[in-house]
Structure 1
Amino acid sequence: MVTKSAYAPIFDLPKHKLTALFEAEPDRLGYLTFDAAGIHFDLSKTHLDRPMIAAFLALAGACDFDGHRKALFAGDIVNPTEGRPAEHPAERGVGKPESVERAKGYQARMRALIDAIEGSALGPIRHVLQVGIGGSALGPNLLVDALGRDADRYDVAVVSNVDGAALDEVFKKFDPTATLLAVASKTFTTTETMMNAESVVAWMQENGVEDPYGRVIALTAAPDKAMEWGVDETRILPFAESVGGRYSLWSSIGFGAAIGIGWDAYEELLEGAAEMDRHFMLTAPEQNIPLIAAFADRYYAVVRGSETRAVFAYDERLRLLPSYLQQLEMESNGKRVTIAGEALDIPSSPITWGGVGTDAQHAVFQLLHQGTHVLPVEFIASIEPGHGLDDGHHHALLASCFAQGAALMAGKGNEDPARAYPGDRPSTTLLVEQVDPRTLGALIAFYEHRTFCNAVLTGINPFDQFGVELGKQMAKAISTEGTGNFDASTQDLIARAFG
């Protein structure tokens, strides 16, 4: 069990200002910047130093980091509450050999179906509408938005919200006679997803599609449920039960992205992730980038008491990354008990939030620079722009990104307190050569492994998510029982809304 006492050696270390660390360590960039899989990681503007890294390495050893890492890639049970492995790396070709082969088989099946669709086997398809929620939507939506902007293939939309306005927006743009429906649900019972799927089928029927179920693809770990719902077995793309929802974009859940960006690009995405997998699996702890990044995360959460972590993508193509990371990090590590079921006495996951630069500079950076909260900030930028406009656009974007990190650290004094910047505010910068499938795959895999490392250093299970169930149960009770046994406030709201 990881307790607060395990962090005592880190609490006891002196707390230096960032500017003082740079002055005292001329080689600071040498041991706090890293390069892997086309990504440059700069952690030098965090408060990590050699004594702190040494203390964290000792903590990682005490937490059996090596054992947990080996178990993950060996396909052993790493989700004990549900008795499952977590085999998303196998979808990228890294892991237990039989699991890798199974994933390759499923991918071959998905590619064959995409080839058939491109050959008009399901009719003249121009639009693909994927319905899902959580991991069945956030990952595919990120991929389509980041990589599909210049792809002259299919119009792909990912809808997750059960609010009918979300579907209605797509219906106004898509031709029902040229639309393919992809239903993404691990269990094929998810309430919001199945309601949306039924509405899409009804929309097709109402607009002259004779066999709407012939235009449905099922992306699921429960093929039998999909067949019961009406999907022909030849249009069911399975994936392994051992692949968790928020880690599933690498599986058939990524169908919408694969058909939208093309199979070659999708394979590059998988290979980029596999490259980061190999780094994480084979690199010693002292040079292991996801682990070192997790050291900084744990330092600010546990020692400095930072309750949030901000992520800002200085690239419009990555505008959905903060939303994707919210689920990955907060659903994985938002726990209150250890893996043994005992109460945590250290903070679990910080609240992940963020936005897009430079928009965020004119909205939330006031608090980051001069507010009373001191919290770690992460910047992500690309050297190559994602447009063909004048280079001045991208120069201004990158200049703003780098300047914000420098300003957060350095601060600036002023006789007028309202104009003073305290500085000593930490940041990390991730700089990629370009936002392409390979690099994005590596970036997402980095965040997955970083999340895993944080869980190991906290002593929790990152692969279950029972916290999302209670609200679902209560929603069903409202739908079936009305006011029921709810509190007076909830009963009043129900009565006002439903009559």
Structure 2
Amino acid sequence: MKNINFNKTQSYQKLNNHFKKIKDIHLKDFFLKNPNRFKEFSIVFEDEMLIDFSKNRINENTLMHLLNLAEETNVKSAIKLMFSGFKINQTENRPVLHIALRNRTNNPIMVNNRNIMLEVNRELEKMKDFSKLVINGIWKGYTGKTISDVVNIGIGGSDLGPYMVTEALRPYKNHLNMHFVSNIDATHINEVLKKINPEQTIFLIASKTFTTDETITNAYTAKKWFLNFVKDKSMLKKHFFALSANVQNALDFEIDINNIFKFWDWVGGRFSLWSSAGLSIVLSIGFDNFKKFLDGAHAMDNHFYYTDNNKNIPILLALISIWYSNFFNCETESILPYDQNMHRFSAYLQQANMESNGKSVNRMGQKISYQTGPIIWGEPGTNGQHAFYQLIHQGTKLIPCDFIASVFSHNDFDDHHLKLISNFFAQTKALAFGNSYDILSSELNLSTQNDYSIDSMSPFKICYGNQPTNSILIRKINPYNLGSLIALYEHKIFVQGYILNIFSFDQWGVEIGKKLSQNIYNYLNSNTTQKCYDSSTQGLITFYKSFIS
């Protein structure tokens, strides 16, 4: 990919000058000046999803300069490189082709002169066949009983993505009980093992390399637990499965060759839920629903690839994010899904974004002088309103927020959903426009707090607004629309990383802790008294050892 001097581009300089002119303009003034603002600053995707970005601190000129930045950096050429299989993950010398996993067409995608779609579709067929056997009760455990429980053992992308999706699509799940184990803390796997019967449980060990310490440690614990009941290793083939790019390591773990579901080194872990790493999703909602999930993502892929920049949802949201992080100096973004089933969506995007764009050197290996990845955080629904919204409304931080909700609920009891949506609309309005002194005066006059004057109370009660939000309103959270939504954010992350001139698809910062933890593990496991670490680390180790020696 081309190298970009982000803050040396002409567009950056123009944006910087423009920022000085509009940084103090209130959102309410933008709306007063342009009665058509909502229409001009919103996009409908396939009559299923409305993206309203009108409550952002931008105007027509901001958008023009941001779009010029996309043109000057030639975002479209980068998109074409990714979709063509070019090795854009240059530090690992790999293409980035999670888009191929939901292609599901006869259109070839070539990697090293091989049409990878043949392999992708073959693996999808294997997932379909196996899931039908399990769901329909044909696949039996070692005593001949049907399978009732599925345990997915993974971490990072092999856990967060599948767990998030199976939770978000709970209304579509079947009779199988889904469990997810990620933490190396023995409590996590122990609590799951307490709930399951070895006769009726299958274990999915999801690890791209099949070397991830947390996953393999938990997998060995599960295997040991299982063999304590069965005593016969030949029965492992009825209960243990690998989801991995490393077939040999899976075989070394004694996974039967027919029980290995492959994916490839061009699939990043945090983008792997579309592959066999998402087998737990297939088992939870069935293959037909999984196909719809893939199709929704593919529809967003096509939108991203073919749509002009000025109507391209991922590109626009990426540009707006760059506007806040590098001109307003916002350090965080909050993701706020108003849907309880999407309670892991913020955590999923936290990994997808922060592991991708949490970089401080550019594609030339030089230190960066501007902000790259934002800190992503959030909670579902009105829970957040009674926790951290206070800071967003009246604190000293500017925090852009994405609000996500559905028009139709899967659980339409009484007026619950109407109240939920009312909160959604009210919060974005309150954040944008705040409350005026006149409104506050009226409220105080009607209250019983006659001991306090309006002027004495107003500093504490007034909310100035001017807090930016995007609103994403989805007809219904179904497999297709969820697929589209996830792909939207994937592509937004890619565009941000590309324009900011970083490699979004490696994660070398994750590796340092892994290597060091292994060294410390070996040190703790030894009888040596030699001091090998800094005074703080050595002090912690000495204190720990004083209890276990």
Match of 1:494 in 2: 541
Match of 2:129 in 1: 112
**Which of 7, 24, 39 pairs up with 1:4?**
7
Distance 2:203 2:312 in 1: 41
SS of the equivalent of 1:358 reads helix
Distance 1:288 1:99 in 2: 27
Instruction: Tell me whether 1:354 sits opposite 2:371 in the alignment.
Output: no
Aligned-pair distance for 1:48? 2.4
Whether contact under 8 Å (1:132, 1:159) holds in the other structure is: yes
Instruction: Tell me whether 1:32 sits opposite 2:74 in the alignment.
Output: no
Distance 1:366 1:280 in 2: 36
Match of 1:423 in 2: 465
Whether contact under 8 Å (1:377, 1:426) holds in the other structure is: yes
Match of 2:94 in 1: 84
Instruction: Tell me whether 1:485 sits opposite 2:532 in the alignment.
Output: yes
Whether contact under 8 Å (1:63, 1:459) holds in the other structure is: no
Instruction: Tell me whether 1:18 sits opposite 2:45 in the alignment.
Output: no
Deviations 1:308-363 (A, max 9, x none): 00111110011110000000000000000111111111101110000012000000
Deviations 1:281-329 (A, max 9, x none): 1001111100000111001000000000011111001111000000000
Gaps of 5+ in 2: 438-454, 525-529
Whether contact under 8 Å (1:477, 1:484) holds in the other structure is: no
Distance 1:498 1:213 in 2: 37
Instruction: Tell me whether 1:284 sits opposite 2:308 in the alignment.
Output: yes
Aligned-pair distance for 1:26? 1.8
**Which of 121, 135, 139 pairs up with 2:161?**
139
Match of 1:56 in 2: 66
Deviations 1:363-384 (A, max 9, x none): 0000000000011011000111
Distance 2:399 2:332 in 1: 6
Percent identity between matched residues is 34
Whether contact under 8 Å (1:113, 1:235) holds in the other structure is: no
Deviations 1:454-482 (A, max 9, x none): 11221111000001011111111111123
SS of the equivalent of 1:182 reads strand
Aligned-pair distance for 1:209? 6.3
Distance 2:541 2:434 in 1: 50
Distance 1:308 1:464 in 2: 21
**Which of 434, 452, 460 pairs up with 1:411?**
434
Match of 1:294 in 2: 318
Whether contact under 8 Å (1:3, 1:345) holds in the other structure is: no
Residue type of the alignment partner of 1:89: I
Whether contact under 8 Å (1:221, 1:238) holds in the other structure is: yes
Match of 2:503 in 1: 461
SS of the equivalent of 1:207 reads helix
Which stretch has the larger CA shift, 231-240 or 143-152?
A: 143-152
TM-score by length of 1: 0.97
Whether contact under 8 Å (2:207, 2:215) holds in the other structure is: yes
Residue type of the alignment partner of 2:65: A
Whether contact under 8 Å (2:171, 2:410) holds in the other structure is: no
Instruction: Tell me whether 1:201 sits opposite 2:201 in the alignment.
Output: no
* CA RMSD, Structure 1 to Structure 2 (Å): 1.5
Distance 2:280 2:57 in 1: 41
Question: Following superposition of structure 1 onto structure 2, how do residues 268-347 of structure 1 map, counting pairs within 5 Å?
Answer: 268-347=292-371
Whether contact under 8 Å (2:170, 2:341) holds in the other structure is: no
Distance 2:16 2:331 in 1: 17
Whether contact under 8 Å (1:69, 1:281) holds in the other structure is: yes
SS of the equivalent of 1:12 reads helix
Distance 1:174 1:149 in 2: 23
Would you identify which runs of 4 or more consecutive aligned residues in structure 1 move more than 6 Å?
A: none
TM-score by length of 2: 0.88
Q: 1:388 to 1:22 in 2, by over 3 A?
A: closer
Instruction: Tell me whether 1:96 sits opposite 2:109 in the alignment.
Output: yes
Whether contact under 8 Å (2:6, 2:499) holds in the other structure is: no
Deviations 1:430-450 (A, max 9, x none): 010111100100000000000
Aligned-pair distance for 1:106? 1.2
Residue type of the alignment partner of 1:46: N
Match of 2:449 in 1: none
Whether contact under 8 Å (1:153, 1:261) holds in the other structure is: no
Q: Greater Rg, structure 1 or structure 2?
A: 2
Whether contact under 8 Å (1:176, 1:209) holds in the other structure is: no
Deviations 1:33-73 (A, max 9, x none): 11114211000001222211111122112212111000011
How many residues align structurally? 498
Residue type of the alignment partner of 1:375: I
Aligned-pair distance for 1:189? 0.6
Match of 2:410 in 1: 386
Whether contact under 8 Å (2:149, 2:202) holds in the other structure is: yes
Distance 2:126 2:263 in 1: 11
**Which of 184, 188, 209 pairs up with 1:187?**
209
Q: 1:286 to 1:209 in 2, by over 3 A?
A: farther
Distance 1:341 1:19 in 2: 43
Distance 2:139 2:341 in 1: 32
Which stretch has the larger CA shift, 487-496 or 348-357?
A: 487-496
Match of 1:174 in 2: 196
Distance 1:496 1:120 in 2: 54
Residue type of the alignment partner of 1:41: I
Whether contact under 8 Å (1:107, 1:252) holds in the other structure is: yes
Distance 2:121 2:172 in 1: 28
Whether contact under 8 Å (2:167, 2:341) holds in the other structure is: yes
Distance 2:131 2:418 in 1: 39
Residue type of the alignment partner of 2:543: R
Match of 1:441 in 2: 483
Gaps of 5+ in 1: none
Distance 2:504 2:226 in 1: 40
Distance 1:144 1:209 in 2: 33
Match of 2:139 in 1: 121
Whether contact under 8 Å (2:181, 2:188) holds in the other structure is: yes
Distance 2:272 2:231 in 1: 31
Distance 1:96 1:497 in 2: 53
